[in-house]
Structure 1
Amino acid sequence: MTEKRKQLIRRILLAVCTAAVVLALAIVGVVQLLNDRREQAREPWLDTAAAELDRITIDAKLDPASHSMAVTQTLMLTSRTAEPRQELVLRSWANAFMKPDTSPLAGNADCCPDGFSAGSLVLEEATVVKNGIPAQADHLYRDDARTVLALPLQESWQQGESLLVTLRYTVHFPHAKYRFGWWENTFMAGHAFIVPALWQNGAYRTDAWQALGDPLSGECADYTLSIIAPKGYRCAVGGTVTATSRTKDYTTWVVHAPAVRDVGLVLSTELESVARTVDGIRLTAYAADRALAGTLLGHAAEMLEAYNECYVPYPFEDLTVCALPLGVSGAEYTALCMVADTLEEDELELTAAHELAHQWWYALVGSDSQTHPWLDEALCEYSLLEYVEHRYGLSAREDLRMQRIEPSMRITVAGGATPGAPLDYFETETDYAMLVYGRAAAFLCAADELLSGRLAQVLGTYAQTYALAIADRADLARVMLEAGGVDIEPLMVDFLDTYLIN
């Protein structure tokens, strides 16, 4: 081999080695970036906040043959109010589905195409222990729907004291295309588990689950779940799966859901999934059709980026979106969004954007869905505009506003309801949608003009200020004044409290 050829080979080897080193450094950099973003995926304050919350543990086993789920649940609850309480009240929302006169599905042919089907929660055991001593002797229901479960206490429950509650019950799913129901081999377990009743202004809230809107959500808690289903089932859940184990016949998922208002769950043999990481968050989409799951994932990734940029970063480690056999357009739970799998792609995208926005306006910042239903729904509709502008531009945003929000200002709604009215003021779903989703969102558009286009920034402050809390109309007005420099109350009265005649 000539010296010239040796020098050429040495130069080639040097170039290859240099390229390998550069590539290795680049890979290390990318991995470090991903690790950094993963570390940032769950906001640092979230774990700290979750440690101070009530702790709820759920062991659930699905029995597809009987369309039921056996549950053992423990709740470690601490009183944080100065008022002593003589009883503990829990909400068993699944019982609302027992009878047509209390079920939110009554008369809904889209959700119950085969006719009304009952669901229920059968309580087999309830015990309460305080300081190692049994503190309760019996339980009773305080409403006809059996959703207000009262556990009278032998001694008053004082501020700072903790109760250990143990429950055993069986959830029976209605045959329905709904957030709580089963269809074919898919079980949708939204509002399936017992939750603490909201304590507010010296009393427990005992609002019914109405046909319109959402049932009242409560305070955040730290959840750990163990979910068992027969082999072949997949689990989509609002939380982080920390362990999975399999036997010959069953699969078990262990899930941690820190600082959530409730846990939504789907178990199915029909679903395919695709996943990716967005801003350090593990995003997973499920659908019966893998192509649909991919479409949903692509949309959800854009939405997550848009809302992270507009408001505050999504605080949880995982986010799951599911296209499901639903007779309604969608539903939301903390870290879990449901959309109907029959929606056309444009409507699928907009519905998913609305439901995903609920991760900020309901999951992160809670509100009273009975007294102020507009406060989360209108914010989600307004968030659609931010998403569309982020992805498609300002012209597309204005087109969507004209199509989706502006018509609500040109229609007279019978009955005298206004956008700011409580939920039970609305007589029809059309009126509810027109006012709560449409005209209340028009208020936010007007507020954005008054704030010179700074509403998203102000809403980011609102999210930071009331994260994991429950905010009301006055809180939003206060943030707009303090962070935006605008007294928004006159505009609120004009849009939310004034009956409009066209």
Structure 2
Amino acid sequence: KDGWELLTIAAPCCRNLAVSLFRDRACDEIEAAPGVIVRSWRDAAHPNAGARALRVAAHSLALFDESFGSYPFREFDVVASAQGEDVGGMEATGLVLIDAQAYELCEHLPDATGVEALPVLMLSETIAHEVAHQWWYGLVGNDAFAEPWLDESLTNWSGGWALEKAGGAAARLGALNIAFLSVRMHAAGQTKAMDLPLSGFADMNEYGSVVYGRGELMWEALRKRLGDERFLAFLRTHHARHRFGVLDAADLHGQFVEALGAEEAAAFTAAWVRGDGLTTKMLLDSLKP
């Protein structure tokens, strides 16, 4: 009517719905998992960065689909888009928005592990992180304002793990070193409780240091404690129990108890989640191969 069209969208099993509107964007696509098409939307001037974004997204989605549990939708879109200050990306069901400036920075940089390619590492980790949100927050839901650590910490670990599986130990160490530096460069990074609501952090730097940085190292420490086989079984169980549901901290702590026993789970939670007695050595041990 009067030039307007009414569009009705049915979105069952959708955690949240986002729409991105744009013109004159180039698109590359690939089948990442059986029956799942991944599309990378970017400025026509950034074909190399767009191709890199597609590779990372497709690899991450296929890895998580196989390792955590099946991706339930037929398509997934990665869109280069203007983001707010200090925001690298944002997740929604079946769609992630990635800072368009990162594409511009990476367009002429090589796929390498040196300092000169740090923007490439950051773009790749951001994309893998946002893909991981399709599982942690998307399929396994939680209250992202009251208990943001439940999805963000595991999502950050998963993104780094995807880089490891694609680029080997050097890529993984790069991601873990970023997490370690994030913790050590903030006064509260090692001691502030992680299981706070979003409003419980002084600013986004403190939030990132504790939830993203220390949170990633926490999951890596659990991986080393359990070994890869048991750890991935832990994550598959975590996904299966709460798929299309909502979990809280008590649910996760119960799973820690199952994996570690009550006494060790209590000590693990006290140190890593609450920052009580977490030592620099424990942080460094999480970086070791």
**4+ aligned runs moved over 3 Å, structure 1:** 484-487, 499-502
The reply to whether residue 293 of structure 1 matches residue 64 of structure 2 is no
- For residues 433-444 of structure 1, the aligned pairs below 5 Å read 433-444=208-219
Q: Which runs of 5+ in 2 are unaligned?
A: 107-119, 281-289
Match of 2:235 in 1: 459
Match of 2:267 in 1: 490
Match of 1:365 in 2: 140
Quote the RMSD (CA, aligned, Å).
2.7
Deviation at 1:397, TM superposition (A): 1.4
Q: 1:269 to 1:461 in 2, by over 3 A?
A: same
Higher RCO structure, 1 or 2 (CA under 8 Å, sep 6+):
2
Q: 1:458 to 1:464 in 2, by over 3 A?
A: same
Distance in structure 1 (CA, Å) of the matches to 2:187 and 2:231: 28
Match of 2:250 in 1: 474
- Residue of structure 1 aligned with 2:97, choices 338, 342, 346: 338
CA contact (8 A) 1:419 1:496 kept: yes
Aligned residue pair count:
254
CA contact (8 A) 1:412 1:501 kept: no
Q: 1:405 to 1:258 in 2, by over 3 A?
A: farther
- Residue of structure 2 aligned with 1:270, choices 11, 14, 24: 24
Match of 1:257 in 2: 11
Structure having the higher Rg: 1
Deviation at 1:396, TM superposition (A): 2.7
Distance in structure 2 (CA, Å) of the matches to 1:399 and 1:294: 22
Q: 1:444 to 1:319 in 2, by over 3 A?
A: same
Distance in structure 2 (CA, Å) of the matches to 1:447 and 1:71: 51
Distance in structure 1 (CA, Å) of the matches to 2:137 and 2:5: 26
CA contact (8 A) 2:128 2:163 kept: no
Answer 1 or 2: which has greater strand percent.
1
Distance in structure 2 (CA, Å) of the matches to 1:398 and 1:309: 23
Deviation at 1:422, TM superposition (A): 1.5
Match of 2:285 in 1: none
Q: 1:381 to 1:405 in 2, by over 3 A?
A: farther
Deviation at 1:440, TM superposition (A): 1.8
> Which string of whole-angstrom CA distances, capped at 9 and with x for unpartnered residues, describes residues 319-345 of structure 1?
111111223211000110110111133
Match of 1:304 in 2: 61
Q: Which runs of 5+ in 1 are unaligned?
A: 1-60, 64-69, 73-224, 227-254
Distance in structure 2 (CA, Å) of the matches to 1:465 and 1:71: 41
Deviation at 1:432, TM superposition (A): 0.8
Q: 1:308 to 1:445 in 2, by over 3 A?
A: same
Which secondary structure state, in structure 2, belongs to the residue aligned with residue 430 of structure 1? helix
Q: 1:460 to 1:71 in 2, by over 3 A?
A: farther
> Which string of whole-angstrom CA distances, capped at 9 and with x for unpartnered residues, describes residues 373-421 of structure 1?
111111111102320221011343133212323551564229x742222
The reply to whether residue 318 of structure 1 matches residue 63 of structure 2 is no
Q: What amino acid does structure 2 have at the position aligned with 1:339?
A: I
Distance in structure 1 (CA, Å) of the matches to 2:52 and 2:29: 11
Answer 1 or 2: which has greater helix percent.
2
Match of 1:283 in 2: 38
- Residue of structure 1 aligned with 2:123, choices 327, 348, 370: 348
TM-score by length of 1: 0.47
Identity, in percent, stands at 26
Distance in structure 1 (CA, Å) of the matches to 2:267 and 2:154: 19
Distance in structure 2 (CA, Å) of the matches to 1:424 and 1:375: 15
